[in-house]
Amino acid sequence: MKKIIALLMALTMLAVVGAAAAETLDFVPGAPTACPFAGFQTYFTALAGASGYAFTWDAEPAEEDAYTVYTAVSEDETLKVGVYVQDDNVVFIQAEGAISLDITDTAAAQKFGEWFGVSISGGVLGMALGTGDTSVLQDPELETKLQEDIKPLVYILENDFNEKTLAEGKAAVSAVYGYPCGLEVSGSTDGETVLLAMKIIVSGPEGQISVK
Q: Which of 4, 172, 13 is nearest to 99 (CA)?
A: 4
- Of 18-32, 46-60, 110-124, 133-147, give the lowest mean pLDDT range: 18-32
State how many domains the chain has.
Answer: 1
Model pTM score:
0.84
Question: Which carries the bigger pLDDT value, residue 185 or residue 20?
Answer: 185
The pLDDT value recorded for residue 165 is 63
Q: How many residues does this entry show for the chain?
A: 212
Q: Does the pLDDT of residue 3 top 60, yes or no? A: no
Q: Where are the alpha helices (DSSP H) in the chain?
A: 2-8, 37-50, 106-130, 142-158, 163-168
Mean pLDDT of 152-164: 67
Q: How confident is the model at residue 13 (pLDDT cuts 50, 70, 90)?
A: very low
Q: Does the pLDDT of residue 195 top 70, yes or no? A: yes
The pLDDT value recorded for residue 133 is 83
| Cβ-proximal residues to 101 (8 Å cutoff; 6+ apart), any chain | 108, 109, 112, 193, 194, 196
The pLDDT value recorded for residue 157 is 65
Q: CA 122 from chain center: how many Å? A: 9
Q: How confident is the model at residue 127 (pLDDT cuts 50, 70, 90)?
A: very high
Mean pLDDT of 79-100: 93
The pLDDT value recorded for residue 201 is 96
Cβ atoms of residues 171 and 22 within 8 Å: yes
Domain holding 13, by residue range, is 2-211
Mean pLDDT of 46-59: 90
Cα 112 from Cα 162, distance rounded (Å): 18
Cβ atoms of residues 165 and 186 within 8 Å: no
Average pLDDT of the chain to the nearest whole number:
82
Mean pLDDT of 53-58: 92
| Cβ-proximal residues to 129 (8 Å cutoff; 6+ apart), any chain | 39, 43, 136, 137
The pLDDT value recorded for residue 18 is 29
